[in-house]
Structure 1
């Protein structure tokens, strides 16, 4: 999802024309679910994103084809329409900011300015003023939605203003903190790219766990389900281990899916590329190793679920909702990957069925 220094391809790798992705579906144990409000929220989210991010073609088609509403519906299948819309808007906003930092930014100072702008908007979404659309999209305006030939004039708030309407104090602060971690890691990645620095496996994993964006999305599990877990729960080692396992599965599977596009841009910010460079694996060996790490992540998730402690009947109900939310975040991105055009374009269903990815040609550096 993000990129860094130029990768030197070995002679044997340059002769490859395709690779095989792991079989994620044959023995996948979690159901693929979809929120019943998916269609109407998806349309509203696309209109909001195009308007607020000032998207014109071809960017408009590019970002609406990423289906942020479907992504949110896959990851938050039990949310009501209001909470699902906030999650969808956040994910749509994340796509644009992530790509903007990844592709268009090489100045780390600019990356830090984006962080300062957005964090100020999170801290005071009503009064904070900015000309940056990345910050404005955290604030508020009047929205007009057409559905079934009926116009609905909805006075709503940009996603974080709406988040604050119902989000509990704990999950609100967790969301803000997680976003700060994301912006800090994004700035570090921009700096790495500018300096030509390539991570080793250990440092890449540490950076990727913040840069994946999963931590803020986990806070949205609480928001979407209208719960607010106590600190003694969210800080417990078992809960932390389950979050990390979920984060790792999402990150490593995403690195497999995004590798082809990233290698075509000569990017090494991807576990597949890092394994090839740091451990001397060939491309298929690195893909297979990533697949193994995904399976290990699922094992860790289930091992920790089996030893969840009890905090009492009422809190345990909310914990069960949160754990189910983590499970949905394992299944949801997988479902969305092969529905959207993010990584495989119009061939997503073919890749899902046949598991073969044809390598794209490298672009000039």
Structure 2
């Protein structure tokens, strides 16, 4: 049976035990390994191949870096482990957009590292414009902008204009948050813990990944459902887990790269914790997030049951909410294993711990 009744793929795929990565004790979360079974969308092998081809077609990565690094970065694994039940075309569009997002993050990082504020300003403005009119930017001279326009235009094809407008609103906020991050890093500003947590919800794109649950479920949820605490709470917890676990795993990489945006760095700078104490505090927050999600998940399922009011629309809405909740749960295992399998976090294997081997150090129009 498909993972959900509207999936175009016949089943999900379990992960062979032999391929499961070893997890360092300091980063191991037994509750994830025991209580959050890991699966991949059955479309995943084709997804990986087509996203690799899309990166080449759009010239988003040099061919040699695609060949050497694209599969090992596991970007498609992350999405294929999250949006189970999504129609294949939806998952493909999400995976390509996700790969683009990582590349944008890398460009942003390199523009900071190499002191290219002009290049960043041009990119920021172009992305804001392309988000509102993607069709007009498919041939933009900056391949990152053109690739963004292509991926956004495809995402806009699945649900009504109201969903598209919401996605755009949420991503405009993400672009602005990246600009604040650029300023902080350029000036060595370490945000306070509360400032960091608020910024992180935007730079990690909490509401973008949550929005994408809806085309995966095949329907736009009413505002009254999306904004209900029984839906919003587990959605937020799943994203907070991902952001904070990312901070835990990427702390060595970000210290090596002279970063200022990591919960651990804010805890050391503003709360007076030692590095070891900050790591322990991040881990405590991560584990608390899991515990709270398990409670919120049950509240969400009861909320979904209440939506099934005997009408066709009520039944469809209840089914979609259950599907979204199921994928919020999938996010935990997908994020967890991604961090132990992706070459993005294998700092010890890099020739230079401050320079990822998969990045392009050049910026469009400014080298």
Give yes or no for TM over 0.5. Answer: yes
Q: Structure 1 residues 239, 115: closer, same or farther in 2, change over 3 A?
A: farther
2:8 alignment partner in structure 1:
none
State the partner residue of 2:38.
32
Distance 1:82 1:185 in 2: 29
The answer to whether the aligner puts 1:243 opposite 2:235 as a matched pair is yes
Q: Where does residue 132 of structure 1 map in the other structure? A: 142
Tell me what 2:343 maps to: 341
- Residue 219 of structure 1 pairs with residue 216 of structure 2: no
Measure how far apart 1:208 and its partner are.
Answer: 0.5
With CA pairs under 8 Å and 6+ residues apart, which has the higher RCO, 1 or 2? Answer: 1
Alpha-carbon contact 2:257-2:353 (below 8 Å) kept = no
When structure 1 is superposed on structure 2, of 37-46 and 49-58 the one drifting more is 49-58
Provide the C-alpha distance between the structure 1 equivalents of 2:76 and 2:240, rounded to a whole number of angstroms. Answer: 23
In the alignment, structure 1 segments of 5+ residues that lack a partner are: 1-18, 140-157, 348-359
Answer with 165-174 or 277-286: which moved more.
165-174
Distance 1:293 1:209 in 2: 15
| Cross-structure match for 1:187 | 179
Range 100-109 or range 226-235, more displaced: 100-109
Q: CA deviation at 1:362?
A: 7.2
The 3 A distance-change label for structure 1 pair 137 and 286 is: same
Q: CA deviation at 1:44?
A: 1.0
Distance 1:252 1:75 in 2: 17
The answer to whether the 8 Å contact 2:108/2:120 transfers is yes
Distance 1:130 1:254 in 2: 32
Residues 169, 321 of structure 1: alpha-carbon distance in 2 compared, 3 angstrom cutoff: farther
Q: Is 1:266 aligned to 2:258, yes or no?
A: yes
Write the deviation string for residues 292-322 of structure 1: whole angstroms up to 9, x where unpaired: 1011112222332333333334222211111
Partner of 2:107: 100
- Cα separation, 1, equivalents of 2:331 and 2:51: 20
CA distance in 1, matches of 2:354, 2:122: 31
Residue 22 of structure 1, aligned match among 24, 27, 30: 27
CA distance change for structure 1 residues 361 and 82 in 2, over 3 Å: closer, same or farther? closer
- Give every structure 1 segment of 4 or more consecutive aligned residues whose post-TM-superposition deviation is greater than 6 Å: 360-363
- Aligned length, in residue pairs: 316
CA distance in 1, matches of 2:49, 2:348: 20
Range with bigger deviation, 275-284 or 307-316: 307-316
What is the TM-score normalised by the length of structure 1?
A: 0.79
Match of 2:189, SS?
A: coil
Within-5 A mapping of 1:64-213: 64-105=71-112, 106=115, 110-128=119-137, 130-139=140-149, 158-213=150-205
- Tell which deviates more after alignment, 64-73 or 252-261: 64-73
Q: CA deviation at 1:187?
A: 0.2
Aligned partner of 2:13 in structure 1 is: none
CA shift for structure 1 position 286: 1.3
- Which has a greater percent of helix? 2
C-alpha distance in 1 between matches for 2:71 and 2:99: 8
CA deviation vs aligned residue, 1:237-289 (integer Å, no higher than 9, x gap): 33222222112100110001111111111222111121122222222221111
- Which of 317, 320, 331 is the equivalent residue of 1:318? 320
TM-score normalised by length of structure 2: 0.79
Per-residue CA deviation, residues 146-179 of structure 1 (Å, 9 max, x unaligned), is xxxxxxxxxxxx3222222223334323322221
Q: 2:60 touches 2:147 (CA, 8 Å); kept in 1?
A: no
Q: Which residue of 2 aligns with 1:279?
A: 271
For residues 111 and 235 of structure 1, the distance between their equivalents in structure 2, rounded to whole angstroms, comes to 34
- Give the Cα–Cα distance (whole angstroms) in 2 for the partners of residues 31 and 107 of structure 1: 43
Please say if 1:45 is aligned against 2:51: yes
Question: What is the root-mean-square deviation in Å for CA atoms of aligned residues?
Answer: 2.5
More strand by share: 1
Structure 2 equivalent of residue 7 of structure 1: none
Counterpart secondary structure, 1:34:
strand
